[in-house]
Structure 1
């Protein structure tokens, strides 16, 4: 497996772990909010890697171009939703609805991560051999 893909997968593990810790710790305290902001930084760095290295490589490969464009488009929408949620931490009412939204985001991210690791990352491995 390509070292870059291993790095992206490690980011996924760290991000999900952090968000699960936020769920356990809760958002009603400073520790939970710090972890959520750490998750935001990790997600932003991860997306930067995908945008600058993963998607450009795949777009240059005719066999992978269509699926990479589809994934990139989906991720833009998802990123907007996730970052909006994370940015609201400063002024949101931290109630049960906010906690439920965190759960939905974790589920959505987990599904997205599975799709990337099963469908997208193998294409990158093949394209960069």
Structure 2
């Protein structure tokens, strides 16, 4: 019959494991302290190179800002869309496309089928169930 050797741990094995774990955590703490110290050092050097100018006392009132060109007309809201929603959509379009975008209208698109998940849920299901190619 073959003999099955059982793994026997000795006291020296436990000492090695505990020493290794302690050393790893000590080095992680040391690295955190070094990185924090470097960050403070570099912040101090940046502040020394670029000191914040002291606010100057104005002897005369500041000139009025130049007149801004006329803004584009607000997009038309159809279907009772609140102004906050229009502002959020306009900000998103301006962020993605840039300042040169023109929004001519915003309207609701009727849901087909009436899914209980909503548009975001349907998009998630479609994305995660698409077969790999």
Question: Aligning the two structures, in what range does the TM-score lie when normalised by the shorter sequence?
Answer: under 0.3
Greater percentage in helix: 1
Q: TM-score, normalised by structure 2?
A: 0.23
Which of 1 and 2 has greater Rg?
2
Q: TM-score, normalised by structure 1?
A: 0.23
